[in-house]
């Protein structure tokens, strides 16, 4: 389903109405006297003359140095005295030459809100990239070691999204409505300025302080949105841009999230369920995709009826396994096929846990947990308490609080959303029956109640830019392949690399050899495919020892970036 705009266009300040398909109702968009942020602000001299104090961050083997730069809280009001700090990282090429690298490449892991200091050592670790780049990462405003926003204490969505009782829908609406006041009160005035129009100007300040005329770019997920807007604001400084796992950056944020339920459901039903059924002799979740889905649905009903509240690691951690915990685990494990085995093991464990509780009560269930080795208990705790790495569904957890708060601020601040409870309830009622994994939760969205800053940004078109290389897997759950196709069609000069038979979110960096070769060639030589191309996916591995770490250099691209970021963060004071 797509929202159908009746009278609104980006770049034009106007009252607007939004039709809700099938409801016979209309919902008003956020309106007001909007400031059209059509281009960058002139930079005050004091920001351009600051000297960066680089300090080694992380182990010496990472060759990573970090610094903080000063930027205005509001680029349109640089003389207010309200400055913020931004954390930046860099890795120089591993060579004896002291000559300045000829090019610079910035990386962003997405979110929006993902901390990105680890992008510098991650880029430097790529064997196919040219060795004459300066590799740069940064924590966007709002998150990581940069100035933070927070929504701590805001009510979470603990209700069952599938419960359509009016009282339950009212509780969901109230929780969504209360999110912004918590975020605003605790973010010390920064919240309205955590948006893409501000962040792209932060990026260009970093470019100028590093002394480069143009930047190259690798952006994953929400980093495709940020990269396209940087291109729009600073076309003269655009080098070779790679956008991997694409939002539709040519349309409002709402359209990217409306496309998620279908994509998550497709990934679950067409990729995970057939794989689990194929290996039923080892996984025992069902001998057909239909039976695997039935196992999930039956377990969901049982955990809703009787949640399992268990103590892990000698009572140091308590976890409630209910229908929401189950949905969170399943959705988070759709991002990479490398998590399919862990999901299968968790589903089997939870099925046994629920059965033990039904037969013998809470003590029997706790005994089942106590019998697990400590390493397995730690893994279960980690998986039940961490959000996905990548663009999460609206309403679901994402990383730590600063990352989650930045995600909410950017997605709600950037572009207009229809306002009011009816919009979210109608959307959930439309998508839920078709795509139940996350479709019912579409009303768990604070953007439907958000008081946006007076901001209208220009629509990215790609006109007048060098070639932009877009990379997309066909069954990506978080950024539906339909988004990449739509953005590509509207983005002048873009080339689309589609990985068929693949559903991972975040491709470049080891998921597909064909795609890696194309990206490396483009970033090192500037040569892009003459036309759109496709690469064949390399398949889902059979069950084996599951990956269970986030150490630098291990796992999928986004996991490796997160591992590097963890290793090099916290060294700036």
In this prediction, residues 256-268 reach a mean pLDDT of 98
Give how far the C-alpha of residue 41 lies from the chain's centroid of Cα atoms, to the nearest Å. Answer: 28
Residue 372 and residue 365: Cα distance in Å, rounded?
12
Burial of residue 305 (CB within 10 Å: 0-12, 13-18, 19+) is: exposed
In this prediction, residues 130-144 reach a mean pLDDT of 94
- Both 230 and 97 in a single domain? yes
Q: What percent of the chain has pLDDT over 70?
A: 91
For 281-325, the pLDDT digits (tens) are 999 999 999 999 999 999 999 999 999 999 999 999 999 999 999
3-state class percentages of the chain: helix first, strand second, coil last, to nearest 5: 40, 15, 45
Q: Report yes or no: 503 and 271 within 8 Å, Cβ to Cβ.
A: yes
User: Residue 290 sits in which domain range?
Assistant: 279-385
Residue 367 and residue 359: Cα distance in Å, rounded?
13
Residue 562 and residue 153: Cα distance in Å, rounded?
25
- Helix H, strand E, coil C: the string for 285-349 is CCCCHHHHHHHHHHHHHHHHHCCEEEEECCCCEEEEECHHHHHHHHHHCCCCHHHHHHHHHHHHH
Q: Is 60 part of any domain?
A: no
- Both 321 and 358 in a single domain? yes
Residue 33 predicted with pLDDT over 50: no
Q: Report yes or no: 135 and 124 within 8 Å, Cβ to Cβ.
A: yes
- Both 523 and 547 in a single domain? yes
Q: Backbone dihedral region of 224: left (phi > 0), alpha (psi from -120 to 50 degrees) or beta? A: alpha
Q: Which long-range contacts (CB under 8 A, 24 or more apart) does 279-287 make?
A: 279/344, 279/542, 279/543, 282/543, 283/344, 283/345, 283/348, 283/543, 284/348, 285/344, 285/347, 285/348
- Both 411 and 482 in a single domain? no
Residue 371 and residue 368: Cα distance in Å, rounded?
5
- Both 98 and 216 in a single domain? yes
Residue 116 predicted with pLDDT over 50: yes
Using the 3D structure, point to which of 385, 408, 428 is the last residue of a domain. Answer: 385
Q: Is 221 part of any domain?
A: yes
In this prediction, residues 487-499 reach a mean pLDDT of 98
Question: What stretch of H or E contains 106?
Answer: strand 103-108
- Both 433 and 472 in a single domain? no
Domain of 215, CATH number, reads 3.40.50.1820
| ∠ Cα 561 117 203 (to 5°) | 120
For 557-572, the pLDDT digits (tens) are 999 999 999 999 999 8
- Residue 551: pLDDT band with limits 50, 70, 90: low
Phi and psi at residue 401, to the nearest 5°:
-65, -40
Supply the pLDDT for residue 316. Answer: 93
Q: Is 211 part of any domain?
A: yes
- Both 213 and 181 in a single domain? no
Residue 25 and residue 470: Cα distance in Å, rounded?
37
Residue 43 and residue 71: Cα distance in Å, rounded?
10
Q: What is the DSSP string of 7-68?
A: S--TT-----EEEETTTTEEEEBP-SS-EE--SPPPPPHHHHSPPP--EE-S-GGG--EEEE
| ∠ Cα 127 128 134 (to 5°) | 80
Residue 5 predicted with pLDDT over 50: no
Helix (H, G, I), strand (E, B) or coil at 266: helix
- Both 241 and 161 in a single domain? no
In this prediction, residues 510-536 reach a mean pLDDT of 97
Report the mean per-residue pLDDT for the chain: 91
Q: Is 185 part of any domain?
A: yes
Q: Is 262 part of any domain?
A: no
Q: Is 253 part of any domain?
A: no
In this prediction, residues 173-190 reach a mean pLDDT of 95
Q: Report yes or no: 215 and 104 within 8 Å, Cβ to Cβ.
A: yes
Q: In residues, how long is the chain?
A: 573
Higher-pLDDT residue of 544 and 408 is 408
For 39-75, the pLDDT digits (tens) are 788 999 999 999 999 999 999 999 999 999 999 999 9
Terminal-to-terminal C-alpha distance of the chain: 47
Supply the pLDDT for residue 21. Answer: 36
Residue 286 and residue 279: Cα distance in Å, rounded?
9
Q: Is 56 part of any domain?
A: no
- Both 398 and 338 in a single domain? no
Q: How many CB atoms lie within 10 A of CB 33?
A: 6
Residue 167 predicted with pLDDT over 50: yes
Q: Return the bridge partners of 106, or none.
A: 136, 217
| Tally of domains in the chain | 3
Helix (H, G, I), strand (E, B) or coil at 244: strand
- Both 532 and 558 in a single domain? yes
Using the 3D structure, point to which of 385, 412, 437 is the last residue of a domain. Answer: 385
- Both 220 and 157 in a single domain? no
- Both 421 and 432 in a single domain? yes
Residue 456 is classified by DSSP as E
Higher-pLDDT residue of 2 and 318 is 318
For 352-384, the pLDDT digits (tens) are 999 999 999 999 999 999 999 999 999 999 888
Residue 161 and residue 503: Cα distance in Å, rounded?
26
- Residue 35: pLDDT band with limits 50, 70, 90: low
Question: Going by DSSP bridges, is the β-strand pair 25-28/317-321 parallel, antiparallel, or unpaired?
Answer: unpaired
Using the 3D structure, point to which of 434, 456, 478 is the last residue of a domain. Answer: 456
Distances (CA, A) of 469 to 125, 347, 476, 497: 21, 38, 17, 8
Q: Is 291 part of any domain?
A: yes
């Amino acid at each position: 389903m797509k929202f159908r705009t009746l009278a609104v266009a980006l770049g034009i300040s106007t009252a607007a109405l939004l039709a809700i398909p099938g409801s016979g109702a209309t919902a008003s968009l956020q309106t007001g006297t909007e400031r059209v942020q059509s281009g960058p602000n002139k930079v005050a001299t004091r920001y351009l003359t600051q000297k960066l104090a680089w300090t080694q961050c992380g182990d010496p083997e990472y060759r990573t140095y970090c610094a903080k730069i000063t930027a205005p809280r509001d680029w349109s009001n640089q003389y207010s005295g309200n400055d913020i700090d931004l954390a930046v990282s860099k890795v120089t090429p591993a060579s004896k030459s002291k000559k300045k690298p000829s090019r610079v490449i910035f990386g962003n892991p997405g979110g929006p809100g993902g901390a990105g200091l680890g992008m510098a050592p991650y880029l430097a670790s790529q064997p196919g990239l040219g060795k004459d780049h300066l590799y740069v990462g940064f924590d966007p405003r709002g998150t990581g070691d940069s100035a933070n926003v927070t929504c701590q204490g805001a009510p979470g969505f603990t209700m069952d999204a599938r419960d359509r009782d009016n009282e339950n829908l009212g509780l969901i609406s109230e929780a969504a409505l209360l999110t912004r006041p918590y975020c605003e009160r605790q973010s010390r005035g920064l919240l309205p300025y955590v948006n893409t129009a501000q962040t792209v100007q932060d990026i260009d300040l970093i470019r100028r302080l590093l002394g480069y005329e143009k930047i190259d770019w690798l952006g994953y997920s929400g980093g495709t949105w940020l990269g396209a807007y940087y291109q729009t604001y600073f076309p003269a400084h655009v080098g070779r841009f790679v956008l991997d796992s694409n939002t539709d950056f040519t349309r409002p944020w709402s359209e990217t999230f409306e496309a998620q339920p279908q994509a998550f459901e497709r990934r679950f039903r067409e990729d995970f369920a057939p794989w689990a059924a194929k290996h039923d002799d080892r996984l025992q979740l069902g001998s057909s995709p239909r039976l695997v889905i039935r196992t999930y649905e039956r377990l969901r009903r049982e955990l809703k009826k009787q949640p399992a509240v268990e103590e892990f690691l000698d009572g140091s951690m308590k976890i409630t396994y209910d229908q929401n915990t189950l949905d969170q685990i399943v959705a988070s494990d759709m991002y990479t096929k490398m998590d399919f085995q862990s999901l299968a093991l968790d589903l089997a464990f939870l099925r046994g846990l629920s059965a033990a509780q039904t037969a013998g009560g809470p003590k029997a269930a706790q005994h089942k947990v106590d019998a697990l080795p400590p390493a397995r208990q730690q893994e279960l705790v980690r998986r039940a308490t961490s959000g996905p790495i990548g663009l999460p569904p609206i309403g679901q957890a994402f990383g730590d609080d600063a990352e989650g708060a930045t995600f909410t601020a950017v997605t709600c601040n950037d572009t207009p959303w229809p306002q009011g409870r009816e919009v979210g309830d109608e959307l959930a009622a439309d998508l839920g029956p078709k795509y139940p994994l996350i479709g019912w939760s579409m009303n768990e969205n604070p953007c439907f109640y958000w008081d946006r800053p007076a901001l209208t940004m220009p629509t990215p078109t790609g006109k007048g830019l060098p070639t932009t290389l877009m990379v997309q897997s066909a069954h990506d759950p978080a950024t539906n392949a339909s988004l990449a196709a739509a953005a590509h069609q509207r983005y002048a000069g873009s080339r689309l690399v589609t990985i068929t038979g693949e559903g991972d979110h975040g491709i470049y960096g080891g998921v597909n050899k064909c795609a890696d070769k194309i990206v490396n060639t483009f970033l090192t030589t500037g040569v892009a495919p003459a036309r759109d191309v496709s690469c064949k996916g390399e398949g889902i591995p059979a069950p084996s020892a599951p990956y269970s770490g986030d150490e630098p250099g291990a796992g999928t691209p986004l996991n490796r970036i997160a591992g590097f970021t963890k290793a090099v963060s916290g060294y700036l004071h």
